[in-house]
Amino acid sequence: MILRTFGWSFGVTVASLVVAFIYGSWEAFLLCVILGVLEVSLSFDNAVVNAKVLERMSEFWQKIFLTIGILIAVFGMRLVFPLLIVGITANLGPLEAVDLALEGGEIDEPGTYAYLLDQAHPLIASFGGMFLLMLFLDWLFEERDITWLSWLERPLARIGKLDALAVIVAAVALVLAAEFLAAEDERASVLMSGLLGLITYLAVNGLGNLFESSGIADEGTTEDGDETPRLPAGSIEGGGVATTTRSGPTQLAKATGKAGFFLFLYLEVLDASFSFDGVIGAFAITSDPIIIALGLGFIGAMFVRSITVYLVRQGTLAEYVYLEHGAHWAIGALAAILLLSLEWHIPELITGLIGVVFIGAAFINSLIRRRRGDVHDVHVGETAEPERV
């Protein structure tokens, strides 16, 4: 199972390190390793959320995500996107942007590729921060049977019954960030970029849920040909329909057609938002776009995909039920960090460790829950309720 799932990642890693060594000797080799580790540590929560969405997709769209999707992740976000941002910021053509990238230069040297990309950070941070904040808030304000930080999640879920609360909170956060964190001459652009991030989330996520729900209603069957299970209120999460047993989800109406396409599109935008901090952080380590592409793209992005597949195939999210919670709290922290970075530089080590802490704590709590044989949510000071089926 490990070799089957991670085989391509190991192969690509070896090839990338060989290329890095040929390109720049041991220094490039070491930098490539560091960037790969950085990307995986920053994006583990991304893999958990990806897995949650991926298991709602049909086998066809899962394969699309793991083939075409990886090309978009590697070449689009880790190589083309920074070039595009620099080109727009400096009013350069595509070839001029590539030439500038290959020239190198330090991040604090005006006119260099790294410097121009760093200057675009407020726009990138506001767009990515708002997209991830909306993802977190939508999850936070949704009622669910199983909660992790119940003292906080349950009251917020009850408050979340107010229509459009996530949009209201996100919009207020954007206005406050632009007013108090962004530089005076960047406030308008930060507001516009953040608004685009919010609109992008609403559009892609909304269309995905619309077509997924429509497909389920029209077909009325699961991918295996069984009737779609009729469930009590609260058992539909993000458009995916699943039954709940002692071992977790057992059936899932898979998204196909337009629903699968928009879920795929949603995953790609989600991956883009997660990659922003990695791409910007990479230039604090090296300004060489070739090494960045090898480390972040070929090594990091491949392993994130492999971890996603492993979580889906092993049913890890059903066995370790708090992993999804930990991932979303890590996403909320990352969104806050992106917005705070409008004013302060947050070291990449802190960004990565926050995700690791949330995921690690959620894993440990899930493991304790499994060993106790809990089949419903029991918390200190609370009375256990009968399991919903």
Average pLDDT, consecutive stretches of 10 residues, N- to C-terminus, the chain (389 residues): 77 90 88 81 75 81 81 73 76 79 76 80 86 89 87 89 89 93 90 91 77 54 42 34 39 65 79 69 70 81 81 79 87 88 81 81 89 56 37
Q: What is the pLDDT, as a whole number, of residue 95? A: 80
Residue 12 lies in a domain: yes
Q: What is the pLDDT of residue 198?
A: 92
DSSP type of residue 230: P
Q: Is 10 inside a domain boundary?
A: yes
165 within domain boundaries: yes
Nearest to 333 by CA among 361, 299, 364: 361
Pairing relationship of beta strands 236-237 and 248-252 according to DSSP bridges:
unpaired
Q: What is the largest CA-CA distance in the chain?
A: 65
Core vs surface per residue 368-381: b (16+ CB within 10 A) or e: ebeeeeeeebeeee
Let me know if residue 382 belongs to a domain: no
Cβ contacts of residue 331 below 8 Å, gap of 6+?
45, 49, 132, 135, 136
Q: How far apart are CA 17 and CA 21, in angstroms?
A: 6
Cβ-based neighbours of 186, under 8 Å, separated by 6 or more: 122, 342
Total Cβ atoms within 10 A of residue 261: 17
Is residue 343 one of the residues assigned to a domain? yes
Q: Please state, in angstroms and rounded to a whole number, the distance separating the CA atoms of residues 116 and 69.
A: 27
What DSSP designation does 185 have? G
Tell me the CA distances in angstroms from 201 to 62, 194, 271, 287, 332, one per residue in order.
Answer: 21, 11, 12, 30, 15
Helix/strand/coil (H/E/C) assignment for every residue in 43-91 = HHHHHHHHHHHHCCECHHHHHHHHHHHHHHHHHHHHHHHHHHHHHHHHC
Cα–Cα distance for residue pair 365/367, rounded to 1 Å: 5
| Domain membership of residue 162 as a residue range | 2-372
In-domain check, residue 387: no
Please return the burial class of 97, using the count of CB atoms within 10 Å of its CB with bins 0-12, 13-18 and 19+: buried
Q: Is residue 39 part of a domain?
A: yes
* pLDDT of the residue at 194: 92
Model confidence over 197-220: pLDDT tens digits? 899 888 877 776 676 565 555 544
Question: What pLDDT score does 150 carry?
Answer: 87
Number of domains in the chain: 1
User: Which SS3 state, helix, strand or coil, does residue 8 take?
Assistant: helix
> What's the whole-model pTM score?
0.71
Q: Which helix (H) or strand (E) covers residue 249, if one does? A: strand 248-252
Is there a domain that residue 264 lies in?
Answer: yes
Rounded to whole angstroms, the Cα distance separating 381 from 384 reads 10
